[in-house]
Amino acid sequence: MKKLGLFLAIILALMALGSCTQTGVDKESTDVDETTTVNTGETSNDSTSETTEDTTEDRILTNEVPKTLKVLAIGNSFSTDAMQYLYDIAKSAGVEEIVLGNLYIGGCSLATHLANAKSNARAYTYYKNTSGTWVANKEKTLLEGLTDEKWDYISMQQSSPNSGIASTYGNTLTQLVAFVKENMTNPDAKLVWHMTWAYQSDSTHSAFVNYNKDQMTMYNAIVDAVRSCVLTVPDFTAVIPSGTAIQNARTSFAGDRLTRDGYHLNYNLGRYIAGLTWYAAITGAPLEGATYNPAPSEITDDVMAMAKEAVKNAIIKPFEVTESTYKTGVWTPATIRNSDPVVPADCFEADMALAATIGIDLNNYVLFEYEYLENSYWYCTKGTSITTPGSSASTYHQNICSAKIYSKAEIPENSIIICDPGWQFRPELWETLDQPAKTRPELTTANITLMDAKFWGSNNYFAFNIAASPKADISEYYAAAATHIRIYIPKN
C-alpha cells in the first residue's frame, strides 16, 4: 500500500512539473527529491505515525541564534512588506551583526529581474538596513546590490500576479539563478525562495481574475508552482513560507484582514507575521527569543501568540494550511489615519492599478520628486508669490505647497497626480509668470488626475497646495502630507 501511494505521489508530482518543463526547466533539474533539496520542515512519505510527527515538531526551530545575518532580497513590494521588521526581530533575538538588502521594483517579475540582469539596467531602488533604518539608494543595478556585500542568504520571488502561474517560472528562473551564482561574492551564500501570499478574499487587484477571484485557488496555485518549479531547482536550499503563515493566521480570530489594500500586508500584524517567517525559515532559531513587537497596543500577548503559532506551523508544514487554535480573541488593527506617512515606493502597485482605470500603464512613468514648504500656499489669481499665513489666519498650519512653480517641460502633459483618501490638493496654473492667472482651479479630492491637454488649457506653469480633507491643522504631519500626493511623469 505504501509503495502504491508513493507511486501515485510521484505520478502527480510529474504531472504538476509538466507546466514548468514546457517553459524550459533543465531536464536534469527535475529529478530532485523536495524533501532532501529544500529545508521545508516536511517529513518523508513514510513518516505517518504520530510519534514521528511529534519528533518533527520537536526538532524544528532549535538552532542557535547566529551571530551574523546578511540577507539580500531580489524582490518587489512583497519583499518590502516581509523584510520591514526583520532587522528588529533578529536583533531582539540576539543576532549581533545584521545587514539587509532589498533590490526593489514595484510589481517586478522574474522575467523583468532577468532582463535587468542581462542589460545591467539601473532600474532598482536598493534599500539597505545596517542599523535598524532602511536607506534608499536609487538607480542601482541588480549586480551592484548582489556584489555590495558577502551575503549569507539571497532570496528570490515571483510577482504576485504570476506567483501561481507555473509557466512564468521555467528557464527564466534557472537563468536568474545562474546569474546570481556567477556573481555573488560569497561562494557559500544560500539561495532561498520567498513563497508569497494569496490576495485577501475581497481584493480588487486586477490580477485576482487569474485565480477566479478566489483566495484558496490562488494559495493552492502558488504552492503548486513552488513545488513544481522551484523545488526542482537544486540550488534553492530553503523556502520561506510567508504565504502559508499568512493563510494560517487567517484561520484565527484575526480573520481575513491582514492586508491594507487587498494584497499588500497591513503595516503592523501582517508585516510582523511575514518578518517572523523570514527569521524562522532562514535561521531555524526559536521564535521565543524574538521579542520585538512593532505595535504593542495592537499586537497584544494573545495576538503575538497566534502569530508565532501561525509561523511555526508554516515551518512545519509549508505547503498546507494549518488551522489556528486561537479561534477566540480580539485584534483591533490600527487604522491608517490621514496623518500616517506612506512610503511612495510601497504605493506603486496600488497606484499602478489606479492608473490602469484611466488607461495608463504606470510602468512607463517615473515618480516625480518635489520639495515642499510648510504652512504655505500658492494663490495663482493673486500672482506668483507664496502666502505664509500668520497665527491669526484661518489657514494657519493648514497647508503645505510645492517649493517652486514648475514648467510644462518639467511636468509634461499626460503626467498624473495621485491623491490618497483623507487628503486634497489644489492645482495652481499660470499662462505666464509675469501676471496673475485669470481663474483659480478648485480644491480636489479626486484619487487620480490626468494632466492632459484639457487640464493644462492654455497654461504653461503649475504649482500645487496640499491640505487634509476636511481641512485641519496639519502642523504635526507636514512630512506625512507630502507623501500622500504623488506625481508621476512619462519616462519619455
Q: How far is CA 349 from CA 80, 206, 271, 346, in A?
A: 12, 11, 17, 7
Domain residue limits, the chain: 57-316, 344-490
First to last CA, the chain: 65
Per-residue pLDDT averaged across 134-142, rounded? 91
pLDDT in tens, 74-102: 999 999 999 999 999 999 999 999 999 99
Q: What phi and psi values does residue 99 have, to the nearest 5 degrees?
A: -135, 120
State whether residue 107 is helix, strand or coil: coil
Answer whether 243's CB lies under 8 Å from 196's CB.
yes
Residues 6+ apart with CB under 8 A from 474: 339, 397, 398, 399, 400, 467, 468, 481
Residues in the chain: 492
Q: How far is CA 186 from CA 83, 189, 230, 276, 278, in A?
A: 21, 5, 22, 25, 20
Per-residue pLDDT averaged across 261-282, rounded? 95
CB atoms within 10 A of CB 5: 12
Answer whether 279's CB lies under 8 Å from 93's CB.
yes
State whether residue 248 is helix, strand or coil: helix
| Distance from C-alpha of 380 to C-alpha of 371, rounded to nearest angstrom | 19
User: Cα-atom radius of gyration of the chain, to the nearest Å?
Assistant: 25
Percent of the chain with pLDDT over 70: 87
The pLDDT, as a whole number, for residue 1 is 42
Per-residue pLDDT averaged across 150-159, rounded? 98
The pLDDT, as a whole number, for residue 338 is 65
Placement of cell 503559532 in the chain: 309
Q: Is the pLDDT of residue 413 over 50?
A: yes
Per-residue pLDDT averaged across 229-235, rounded? 97
The pLDDT, as a whole number, for residue 342 is 81
| Distance from C-alpha of 261 to C-alpha of 438, rounded to nearest angstrom | 40
Per-residue pLDDT averaged across 2-12, rounded? 39
Average pLDDT, the chain: 88
State whether residue 176 is helix, strand or coil: helix
Burial track 120-156 (b if 16+ CB lie within 10 A, e otherwise): ebebbbbbbbeeeebeeeeebbbbebbebbebbbbbb
Beta-strand pair 97-104/68-75: parallel
Percent of the chain with pLDDT over 90: 76
| Distance from C-alpha of 329 to C-alpha of 481, rounded to nearest angstrom | 35
Q: Is the pLDDT of residue 24 over 70?
A: no
The pLDDT, as a whole number, for residue 337 is 61
Q: Which residues pair with 128 in a beta bridge?
A: 101, 135
Q: Which amino acid is at 229?
A: C
C-alpha cell at 398: 493648514
| Distance from C-alpha of 429 to C-alpha of 380, rounded to nearest angstrom | 6
Cα angle for residues 354, 360, 363 (degrees, 5° grid): 90
Residues 6+ apart with CB under 8 A from 11: none
Name the pLDDT band for 336 (thresholds 50, 70, 90): low
Domain 57-316, what fold? Rossmann fold (3.40.50)
The pLDDT, as a whole number, for residue 57 is 56
Name the pLDDT band for 17 (thresholds 50, 70, 90): very low
Compare 212 and 107 and report the one with higher pLDDT: 212
